[in-house]
Amino acid sequence: MVVTLLVFSLYPYLQKCVPRSPVFHPVPCVAVFITNGAPVVVTLLAFSLYPYLQKEPLSAAKAFSSLALFDILSLPLHLFPLIVNVIINGKVRWAGVVRHVGK
């Protein structure tokens, strides 16, 4: 059920990756999947690992407070891959500027 919800929630984003030309570029598909799937994966991972790490069952109070926390953290988790991409692009461009100015 969770996988079905994940697929249907990510379908509009993955549909952008359908190649319109004979050359298929998988990098944008992976970036879109990571960007939009990170909050869901982190939430599922935390809920599945909690009973094993804490040696006690997950109570309703802890589950709902965790859901509220993950809702607050969903925007930073969504933006993290984008920020990493911007930092890498900036570093590459800065190296090009230094190389060009150094001549």
Tens-of-pLDDT digits for all 103 residues of the chain? 444 555 556 556 655 655 555 555 666 777 777 777 777 888 899 999 999 999 999 899 999 998 898 888 878 877 787 788 889 999 999 988 888 887 6
Is 15 part of a structural domain of the chain?
yes
Is 90 part of a structural domain of the chain?
no
Is 72 part of a structural domain of the chain?
yes
On whether the pTM is more than 0.75, the answer is no
pLDDT confidence of residue 1: 46
Nearest to 47 by CA among 35, 63, 65: 63
Number of H-type helices and E-type strands within the chain: 3, 0
**In angstroms, what is the C-alpha Rg of the chain?**
19
Is 70 part of a structural domain of the chain?
yes
Is 9 part of a structural domain of the chain?
yes
Number of structural domains found in the chain: 1
Is 96 part of a structural domain of the chain?
no
Its domain, for residue 29, covers 2-80
* Residue 86 vs residues 13, 23, 48, 91, 103: alpha-carbon distances, Å: 20, 25, 32, 9, 26
Is 17 part of a structural domain of the chain?
yes
Is 11 part of a structural domain of the chain?
yes
CA distance 16 to 27: 12
